[in-house]
Amino acid sequence: MVERPHKPSSLPNTAAAAKSAGPQPTVDISDDNARVTARLPSGESVTVLLYGATVISWKNADGTDNLWLSEKAALDGSKPVRGGIPVVFPVFGPPPSNHATSSLPQHGFARNSRWEYLGKSTSEASAESERASTAAGGADSSSVKLDFGLYSSNLSPEARKAWPYDFGVVYSVTLGPGSLQTAVNVRNEGDKAWEFQVLFHTYLSVKDISKTHLTGLLGVTYTDKVLSVPSATESTASLPITGETDRVYKAIPQSTTSVVVDGAPRFDVVRDNLPDTVVWNPWKEKAAAMADFAPDDGYKSMICVEAGAVAEWTKLEAGDTWEGGVTYRSLL
């Protein structure tokens, strides 16, 4: 693989962490084996539902959740989760009629399949950086990575029939101080090439959508699904959200899109090998029409900034591997 500047770091699972005198990250599996929660000594946490490998919570040390989750989100595996970070694969949106994914449901099968929890790995900062963090008033800077797997052999008979290709996907969720990384490694395990799309359908929590702006999209070409405009160019350096929004920004040259709320930076969304970003907010009428969207005015406190590779198809030859990911930074 080509080295990339924002590539999610690999965290070795070594005995050194266990022998450390300081507090360590903890990982708990729920009694019903439905979700995995990781916590840092600083108090930050992440919870992943095995149904869809959906991140349903990412909390700061003070308990503030960075993700928006609908009050009516189904967390029992009956339907995809409304909120958090659902994983979209191998197709984004309604599948085209003339493509190999045409028999799949909207957004594919990853978000409504049960994934396998593959385990954790942890890392600690060096003693020097730990001392620097302490001197600056920071907390323990250890990190924890959770890995999840989805394979063609795991799929439901319906999904397998609709998309009969051999594949393996390893999804990694890494919790660090002030940050969350999500990354996918996709492998073609068959003898035929196939195409796919992938996206992290991320619902970020904001205090007031009327005071929320996005930066980092100036000059980027986008498709506006609300206005049915196939191609336009973003002319605003600080993009406000003033109504229903559904745009696909394509081939973004800069790696970071930032969320600014009431004039203060709230999130950085840093893409790695993911060229596109979807910006979505249903606004009042569409939110009210969705049975699993609650409260009705919840659109005022969320914005979807969804990094992905969806404007084009990615072709994976037999035996080849593709990877990409995104880092979210909480700037509270």
pLDDT tens-digit series, residues 82-91:
999 999 999 9
Does 7 map to a domain?
A: no
Query: Residue 210 above 70 pLDDT?
Result: yes
The residue with greater pLDDT, 102 or 141, is 102
User: How high is the pLDDT of residue 132?
Assistant: 37
Query: Residue 8 above 70 pLDDT?
Result: no
User: How high is the pLDDT of residue 140?
Assistant: 54
Question: Kindly report the CA angle at 196 between 73 and 314, in degrees rounded to 5?
Answer: 130
Domain, as residue range, for 263: 15-330
Sign of CA dihedral 41, 43, 49, 52: negative
* Contact call for residues 284 and 299 (beta carbons, < 8 A): yes
Q: Which residues contact 145 (CB under 8 A, 6 or more apart)?
A: 11, 120, 121, 122, 123, 172, 173, 174, 175
Does 2 map to a domain?
A: no
Question: Mean pLDDT, to the nearest integer, of 283-303?
Answer: 97
Q: Which residues contact 274 (CB under 8 A, 6 or more apart)?
A: 198, 199, 307, 308, 309, 324, 325, 326
User: How high is the pLDDT of residue 101?
Assistant: 98
User: How high is the pLDDT of residue 22?
Assistant: 79
Q: Catalogue the active-site residues.
A: 201, 306
Confidence category of residue 332, pLDDT binned at 50, 70, 90: confident
Does 242 map to a domain?
A: yes
**CATH number of residue 36's parent domain:** 2.70.98.10
Does 91 map to a domain?
A: yes
Domain count, the chain: 1
Question: Mean pLDDT, to the nearest integer, of 179-205?
Answer: 98
Query: Residue 131 above 50 pLDDT?
Result: no
Q: Facing residues of 192 across strands? A: none
User: How far apart, in whole angstroms, are the C-alpha atoms of residue 30 and residue 288?
Assistant: 32
Does 4 map to a domain?
A: no
Does 8 map to a domain?
A: no
Does 10 map to a domain?
A: no
User: How high is the pLDDT of residue 10?
Assistant: 52
Confidence category of residue 1, pLDDT binned at 50, 70, 90: very low
Does 178 map to a domain?
A: yes
> Where do we find the tokens 């940050």?
179
